[in-house]
Chains A and B, each alone.
Chain A
Amino acid sequence: MPNKYQLMREGALCQDEWIYSDEATALSEAPTIISLSRLKAEADDLRARNAKLGVQLLADGNGKTQLGEDVQELEPYLDMLSLVSIAFPTYRNGRGFSAARVLREQFNFDGEIRASGEVLHDQWAMMRRCGITAFELAPTVRLETFTEAMSELSDAYQPAADDQRGALWQRHK
């Protein structure tokens, strides 16, 4: 199945070598993104597999409050993971911003974190500040638009998961 998105990684459009798998299909040697439930169920087998593994953190969880999956559940599996894809079901649901920062700042995860789902123009730069390094963008988005959006605000007031310390700190280097 061809991708419905174009992948933006480190400021450039690129070929996505990752594939999303379903719950049942046997995994190939290709870098593959699976669900959290599959990761938990097959962790032992997956640990023995000699290929890159990613997981997608879903925003629509079970439960009536639809909180979505909990980033804390990834902690025991981080050594197996090269990628976490965070799903944003709608631009209004900003829960994934926190998940990204927890991965970077509390779990010291250094693999790829990508944003999938509905992500708006003016969210890209904020996502990058939270530690998201790759974006699954709608095919209509132009590279220049993306680049421009990333540089609209040249500085930040507060520290996050990137290198910017924030004005309150920078003024007293």
Chain B
Amino acid sequence: MYRYDEFDHQLVSERVKQFRGQVERRVSGELSEDAFKPLRLMNGVYLQLHAYMLRVAIPYGTLSSKQLRMQAHIARKYDRGYGHFTTRQNIQFNWPALDKIPDLLEELATVEMHAIQTSGNCIRNVTSDQYAAAIDGEVEDPRIISEIIRQWSTFHPEFTYLPRKFKIAVTGHDNDRAAIKLHDIGIVIKQNELGDVGYEIHVGGGQGRTPFIAKKMADFVPKAQLLAYLEAVMRVYNMLGRRDNSYKARIKIMVHETGEVEMRRLIEAEFAKIDASQMLAVPPAEIDRISAYFASPEFETLPASSDVLEAAKTQDADFARWVRANVVAHKQDGYAIVNISLKPIGGVPGDASDVQMEAVADLAERYSFDEIRVTHEQNLVLPHIRLDDLKTVYDALHAHDLATANLGLISDTIACPGLDYCNLANARSIPLAQEISERFADLDRQYDIGELKIKISGCINACGHHHVGHIGILGVDKKGTEFYQISLGGSADENASIGKITGRAFTEETIVDAIETVVTTYTDMREGSERFIDTYRRVGLDPFKERLYAE
């Protein structure tokens, strides 16, 4: 994992001091809420329905056990005993008191964390693949370049007042778990015929009220030129992106209105000018320094299978189901990647209590080389667990209600905070996610249904990623009543697609039945081992519409 040097430490602590001054001026009344707003936003502080909310950055979703323990401590000391993991691999605290936030940030800084650029119209926290350095078939650990991008984009003097927020995601694998085509910039690490590592760049993806899949702007940007290329994209956007209407201000709209070809020409012209200076070519020695932090853990040489594991699976059917659903093959023989579902039946998607966080931190420290990952699907990962230890880890997770065996299944829902917390929402998301998971609580039924990603947003801003849910649910408000619109066929992976709306919206009372109808339509029509998304792509929207709106 990356560790701060004195440079990083100094900047983060100076930032805390700066923010403390700003909060003092706000509390004393010297700063109005209007004048304070841009300052607090740059430090991750939102004003929600009931209170201030603080969003803490977890760069590319990687945490050490010490860092996760700090989140537990913060949940206990400054919040109501829990934190909420978000779709951008961050963690949010819903109830901190404003005047205590500088203290909170100071404590965070002791474990090399901060809330910088987790909001505001700047380059946000970089996200990446939660299986980085654990999955087989990766070109390179995506966290190396993610860390370089983190540093380059932090307090960037030119790109802190962009037309709109800006999100960058990186993957080093052909199976995209970082939803890179739904980001302002998506980066795929590639290797060319000469064996050199470089970057395929996608620009202009995004969700919100006008969803777009990103366009591929460059096939292969060499390693040394990446920051120059990124700076070119940013400058073209900052100069020509729209500022007259915040709904049309994201780069996706600019790419759409300008056209892919012209956009590419603009970026390449700017890139040529910036690259000529060589100013942004990161010294190879610095790349080596950062890479060294991400060196592979010292894995033991172990057999590819484990008798201990096989015996435990025979003895404990629940454990066997959990292994099947939540455990993924590791690149190293004798190890596995463990997914910890934060979607217990009837629970709040993405929430974890202080005690749960500490339990996960203990397991990471003892069994997973001190590493935890946060996924954009709001779950946690222990990336490097020995097969022999799986049962012990499972038992410990189970004792803390963290062993729900539903990864990628219908109850593994993404949901935004919705009307329970958010002042933008039209409808509640969390209670609906809870109702759906209770309706489909039977795990055998969930396995029979198979991979099915439900994503719920409480409003058109799409924080719950409904556009790319196999089943997407969007909360809409009609005359003060909450309604839910269904879309089908979305996907956030390497075959990214935007879902299609089925038709008229459903009420709070009928939406769960409607989801059930969609599911049974699929199970009636599927051929062989087809997943929901495969069946949908084969038969299209119509059969689902017919069943949903049949009277």
Interchain CB contact under 8 A, A106 and B273: yes
Q: Which residues of A contact B279 (CB under 8 A)?
A: 159
In A11-62, the 8 Å CB interface with B consists of none
Q: Does A123 contact B (CB under 8 A)?
A: yes
In A118-173, the 8 Å CB interface with B consists of 120-123, 125-127, 129-130, 152-160, 166-172
Interchain CB contact under 8 A, A126 and B160: yes
**Size range of the interface on A?**
35 or more
Counting residue pairs across A and B whose Cβ atoms lie within 8 Å, the total is 121
Q: Does A91 contact B (CB under 8 A)?
A: yes
In the complex, how many angstroms separate the beta carbon of B377 from the nearest chain A beta carbon?
A: 30
Q: Does B152 contact A (CB under 8 A)?
A: yes
Pick from B42, B238, B243, B289: contact of A122, CB below 8 A.
B42
Pick from A91, A153, A154, A168: contact of B282, CB below 8 A.
A168
Q: Does B158 contact A (CB under 8 A)?
A: yes
Interchain CB contact under 8 A, A122 and B240: no
Complexed CA–CA distance, A152 and B42 (Å): 15
Q: Which residues of B contact A105 (CB under 8 A)?
A: 277
| Residue of A126, A127, A157 contacting most chain B CB atoms (<10 Å) | A157
Pick from B148, B160, B238: contact of A168, CB below 8 A.
B148
B29-50 interface code vs A (CB 8 A; 1 in, 0 out): 0000001001100100000000
Q: Does B480 contact A (CB under 8 A)?
A: no
Chain B at the A interface: SS class: helix
> Smallest CB-CB separation from A97: which chain B residue?
B158
Given the known interface contacts A120-B38, A159-B279, A169-B286, the answer about A153 and B15 at a Cβ–Cβ threshold of 8 Å is: yes
Complexed CA–CA distance, A102 and B273 (Å): 10
Complexed CA–CA distance, A168 and B18 (Å): 23
Q: Does B8 contact A (CB under 8 A)?
A: yes
Pick from B154, B161, B227: contact of A94, CB below 8 A.
B161
Q: Which residues of A contact B5 (CB under 8 A)?
A: 171
Q: Does B156 contact A (CB under 8 A)?
A: yes
Q: Does B551 contact A (CB under 8 A)?
A: no
Complexed CA–CA distance, A123 and B8 (Å): 21
Q: Which residues of B contact A158 (CB under 8 A)?
A: 151-153, 156-157, 227, 280
Given the known interface contacts A122-B42, A159-B279, A169-B286, the answer about A94 and B11 at a Cβ–Cβ threshold of 8 Å is: no
Pick from A71, A92, A130: contact of B121, CB below 8 A.
A92
Interchain CB contact under 8 A, A98 and B244: no
Q: List 24 A-B contacts (CB under 8 A).
A: A64-B244, A65-B242, A67-B239, A67-B240, A71-B239, A91-B38, A94-B158, A94-B159, A101-B235, A121-B39, A127-B157, A152-B18, A154-B14, A155-B10, A157-B152, A157-B153, A158-B153, A167-B8, A168-B152, A168-B286, A170-B7, A171-B7, A171-B286, A172-B289
Given contacts A95-B239, A98-B238, A126-B160, 7 further A-B contacts (CB under 8 A): A91-B161, A99-B239, A152-B17, A153-B155, A157-B151, A158-B280, A171-B5
A contact residues vs B (CB 8 Å cutoff)? 64-67, 70-71, 91-95, 97-99, 101-102, 105-106, 120-123, 125-127, 129-130, 152-160, 166-172
B contact residues vs A (CB 8 Å cutoff)? 5, 7-8, 10-11, 14-15, 17-18, 22, 35, 38-39, 42, 121, 148, 151-162, 227, 235, 238-240, 242-244, 273, 277, 279-280, 282-283, 285-286, 289
